[in-house]
Chains A and B, each alone.
Chain A
Amino acid sequence: MCEVHKNNCFIHVPSGMQPIALSCIVNGEAVAAMVDPTMTLLNFLRSELKLFGTKEGCGEGECGACTIIMNGVAVNSCLILAAEVEEANIITVEGLAQGDKISILQEEFIEKDALQCGFCTPGMLMSARALLDRIPNPTVDEVKEALAGNFCRCTGYFPIIDAVMATAERERRELRK
């Protein structure tokens, strides 16, 4: 697959259908590619862009492990076709840190031990990020609501909720500075 030259390059199209040209922004970088029309955004991120931070837990939009932010909204990337993201602005877990400094949200996940096996963590972080972008001072119930589509089998969610609440507080403080 060639990300740069679009249709001039050899690409592998398992469905056998006519590939579709696609351009979008992923973690601040311009991406142009030819994609199999049946390919999900999740597979595009992982197999084509090699962004393996976004995980697949069920492939059916039930578990939230594949959550990314698309145009400011947290979505299950396994339910979206890559072809649908034309012109979209996409953020994955790899796009949360600023340069080599991890974000407050990531710091609070570490501090509150909001992860164990870590497999749901990227999706959980993206759902939390989208919530905080929308509501900078959420209530605990709003956090629970925002994370209800993200399964975690390890932590019991309490530390995750604590981390999101602590992030909200720190981010508001930073903003006031």
Chain B
Amino acid sequence: MMEKQYKHIGKPYNRKEAQEKVTGQAIYTHDMELPGMLHAKCLHSPYARAKILSIDASEAKMLPGVKAVLLGEDAPYLLGLYMVDKRIIAKEEVRYQGEVVAAVAAVDEATAERAISLIKVEYQELPAVHTIDEALEAKILVHEDINELEYMQGVFFPQPDSNIASWNKAKKGDVKKGFEEADVIIENELSLPAVAHVPMETHVTIAQADLYSSKIKIWSSAQSPFAVRQLLAKSFGIHKSDVHVIVPYVGGGFGGKAGIHLEPLVTLLSKAAKGRPVKLKATREEEFNQLPTRAGMRGRIKTGVKKDGTITAMAVYYDWDSGAYADYGVNVGKAAVYSGAGPYEIHNIELHSRTLYTNKVFSTAYRGFGHLETHWTIERQMDLIAQRLGLDPYEVRMKNILRPGSRTLSGELIYETSGSPSDCLEAVAKEIGWSGYQSEEAREAQLKTGKVRGKGLAMLQKAPAMPSYTSTAAIMQMDEDGRIKVMIGAIDMGQGANTVMAQIAAEALDVPMENVEVVWEVDTNKHPYDWNTVASKFTFMGGNAIKKAANSMIKQMKELAAQVLRCHVDELTHGGGYIYHVHHTHRRIAYEKLSRGYVYENGNGIGGPLIAHGVYMADGLSNLHPETGQGMPALDWTFGAHGIELEVNIETGEITILKVASAFDIGQVINKKLVDGQVMGGVLQGIGSAILEGYKFAPNGRLMNPSFTDNKIPTAKDLPLEIVPIYIENPQTDGPYGARGIGEHPMISVPSAIGNALYDALGINFYRLPLSPENVALAIANKDH
């Protein structure tokens, strides 16, 4: 292969917006104030499930400074991405503790809070659905009207008279025969609790509704302004063009700010407050308890294997404890259907994924979109298989791994250019010095010291989970001085994507990085359409759109220059800020001379201002077959692996992670500094899910830890001693400069690798997260008995 010669791709540029962020100048929705702005507060249900018998808001309405009080009856709209199942404010019935039952807008937060405290609600507590098994039993229905709910047909499959919001399936080969051919059948159950996203900026929205028309203006800490526009317009029955969404800097999203959240409620408050702008900023408690989480999950897996580790059949049930409303939850469930077997070729498989309604805070997308959960099942199972067969788990993985010519769970053919899972596994095994499980003697010898070390491996894969027709677009304009402005409707919420987009534009146009500006503050009235900023698709799709826009701009410049230079377009090339003749290189015109059209010495002008656009539509994707799950769901697969070495204190159960080696086949590193940031941040979030985090519910369904006091995220003191990112670069032919997505992947399978390393250290298998000191110490104590 020819050596790649790039000027900007692969260079570790500093992020473009960094200076604004370190000087306190960066303005987030959290910081915004508008003339006449009011502040909102919400009242929440104290019960997991209850009937609302009566609400008396008369005192709240009389409080001076209160401008609007809204109850369920004032908000007769249903919301939903895929299942239209959620009221903006609960009416008659509440379905989770934390659900909004009333909202107030007042002149300041203190007044709004006082008004909230004056609202009297009479509830009748009802028996609730707390667990996956209770949900499946369906003695109580979270949504009694499930049969009537509107939903996206052909993609999701709600089951009548049940709590199953969607039952998605994959079926391939002859599963019965596959199990018959197996030497050993291994069955396990692995589970994990709900976890919060914890963006440092809580959800916040300002909305201003025009009283005399349908027009609405919204500023929101949102990942997906165009999704907000679409869903709000649909819910209110107004035109999309009436909804104007602006996204200032976003203080972290991780999937929790995808879709639509506070926007409709704040819009209604503004309308009720005679069109004054209203700001609603979620408290940290509301962030945990009102706004959505990552679902809890239970995976039941049965694998048939030959003695040499070859998998002959697999049957899996993934059941998602997805809370009171479907939101993204059903799509998380769907992702399991095409990715829930891991990066392995399984010829005979039956996989069921059921997104279940329960009376808990509802769930949504969270970095990795179901994959951390399914990989907790799959990647622990691979080790459990190896243990049973007395094989090296590295070898068991290599035996079944996807290679060129293999087909994925949904039947997609893997090419040389799809990326290589085996390269990733090999790289991390080498980096941590993997040589198989340690012997029982070695373990016993270590145990005497009070601290035991162990190593573990885990693989991962993910492709964007998105509709088959997902699209994006970029607009590129040249200023009079030859500088470039790029507009793209996806959001850089910290992942560094706008800097990567600038690198791609600079590379394609061959201009210096400082000459390219990606315009921040995405505005649905000015920026071109983008579906959603989720799924690790920004670099791939946005990058392709920008490359096409740059090519179009070069073409326009050449066409204009051909007239001036009196030659055919084909004789021209570009570089260094010039369009020039391929042979007579002195026959050239600087970009800026073409930026407004070209002006001859006598004053004649030709052409016009330079504006280009580029679009990218997900290519070749199709819906999955409802029964078999076969189809083309994946735009690009990013494969990866983690190798972890850790030490366990056998008295306290505390885990010290000594080293994390993480390899990803991302096709092409565009900016190592930024990718390293994704890997280190993602790995630490994975460690959070593995060791620290998790929702705890009381028997009555009340969330017991809705604060940082009891639901901590990793701090600087919880770091591994070392994280080693490794990038494999087998280029993706249709990715921008060969690149694939990487935003979510580093988090996936971190818990699995830690769980596997714990087995190596202790000889104990863990089946449920988190692997907290308490749980680890208990398991050690129980083993001793």
Contact = CB atoms under 8 A, between A and B. Distances in A.
Interface of A: 12, 14-15, 38, 46, 51-60, 62-63, 65, 92-94, 96-97, 102, 106, 109-111, 113, 115-122, 125, 143-145, 147-161
A117 B19 contact: no
Contact of B200 (A93, A117, A148, A156): A117
30 contacts: A46-B31, A52-B31, A55-B28, A55-B201, A56-B30, A63-B708, A92-B24, A96-B23, A102-B19, A106-B22, A111-B14, A113-B673, A113-B676, A116-B495, A116-B496, A116-B677, A119-B30, A119-B251, A121-B21, A143-B716, A144-B717, A144-B719, A148-B715, A151-B708, A153-B681, A154-B494, A156-B677, A156-B684, A158-B719, A159-B676
A113 B18 contact: yes
B368 to A, nearest CB: 14
B26 A118 contact: yes
Contacts of B18: 109-110, 113, 115
Contacts of A161: 716
A109 to B, nearest CB: 5
Nearest to B198: A153
B201 A117 contact: yes
Nearest to B14: A110
Interface string B704-728: 0001110001011101000100000
Nearest to B715: A148
A136 B679 CA distance: 30
Contacts of A52: 24, 27, 31
Interface in B638-686: 673-674, 676-677, 679-685
B14 A156 contact: no
B680 A156 contact: yes
B252 interface: yes
B28 A119 contact: yes
B108 interface: yes
A88 B402 CA distance: 64
B66 to A, nearest CB: 13
Contacts of B14: 110-111, 113
B110 interface: yes
B252 A119 contact: yes
Given A38-B110, A118-B20, A119-B28, 18 more contacts: A51-B24, A54-B24, A58-B708, A59-B283, A60-B284, A62-B709, A106-B23, A109-B18, A113-B14, A113-B673, A117-B201, A119-B251, A122-B24, A156-B683, A156-B684, A156-B723, A157-B680, A159-B677
Interface in B311-367: none
B25 interface: yes
Nearest to B682: A156
Pick from B111, B249, B715 the residue with the most CB of A within 10 Å: B715
6 nearest A-B pairs in the assembled complex, by CB-CB distance: A53-B24, A119-B251, A117-B494, A118-B21, A156-B680, A116-B494
A118 B708 contact: no
A117 B716 contact: no
Interface in B93-151: 108-111
B485 interface: no
Contacts of A144: 716-717, 719
A138 to B, nearest CB: 12
Interface residues on B, range: 35 or more
A153 B723 contact: no
B15 interface: yes
A161 B30 CA distance: 27
Given A56-B30, A117-B252, A154 B21 contact: no
B254 interface: yes
A56 B284 CA distance: 10
Nearest to A158: B680
A27 B621 CA distance: 56
Pick from B21, B27, B684 the residue with the most CB of A within 10 Å: B21
Nearest to A57: B200
Contacts of A56: 30
A54 B17 CA distance: 18
A64 B24 CA distance: 15
Given A60-B708, A102-B22, A122-B24, A12 B108 contact: yes
A65 B681 CA distance: 18
Nearest to A50: B33
A46 B30 CA distance: 11
A28 to B, nearest CB: 15
A121 B31 CA distance: 15
B199 interface: yes
A113 B19 CA distance: 11
Contacts of B709: 60, 62
B681 A154 contact: yes
Contacts of A53: 23-25
Contacts of A121: 21-22
Contact of A117 (B27, B31, B493, B680): B493
Contacts of B716: 143-144, 147-148, 150, 157, 160-161
A162 to B, nearest CB: 10
A14 B22 contact: no
A155 B681 contact: yes
A153 B24 contact: no
Contacts of A15: 110
B251 A118 contact: yes
B328 to A, nearest CB: 19
Nearest to A14: B110
B250 interface: yes
A147 B200 CA distance: 15
Contacts of B17: 118
Given A55-B201, A156-B680, A118 B685 contact: no
A117 B199 contact: yes
Nearest to A122: B24
Given A110-B19, A157-B719, A63 B707 contact: no
Contacts of B682: 156
A57 B24 contact: no
B649 to A, nearest CB: 18
A157 B24 CA distance: 19
A116 B683 CA distance: 15
B32 to A, nearest CB: 9
Interface in B155-170: none
A52 B684 CA distance: 29
Contacts of A102: 19, 22-23
A51 B27 CA distance: 11
B684 A157 contact: yes
A52 B28 CA distance: 9
B22 A117 contact: no
A150 B712 CA distance: 12
A147 B717 CA distance: 8
Given A93-B24, A102-B19, A119 B717 contact: no
Contact of A118 (B253, B494, B715): B494
A52 B29 CA distance: 11
Nearest to B677: A113
Given A144-B719, A156-B680, A151 B249 contact: no
B717 A148 contact: yes
Contacts of B679: 156
Contacts of A38: 110
A51 to B, nearest CB: 7
A62 B19 contact: no
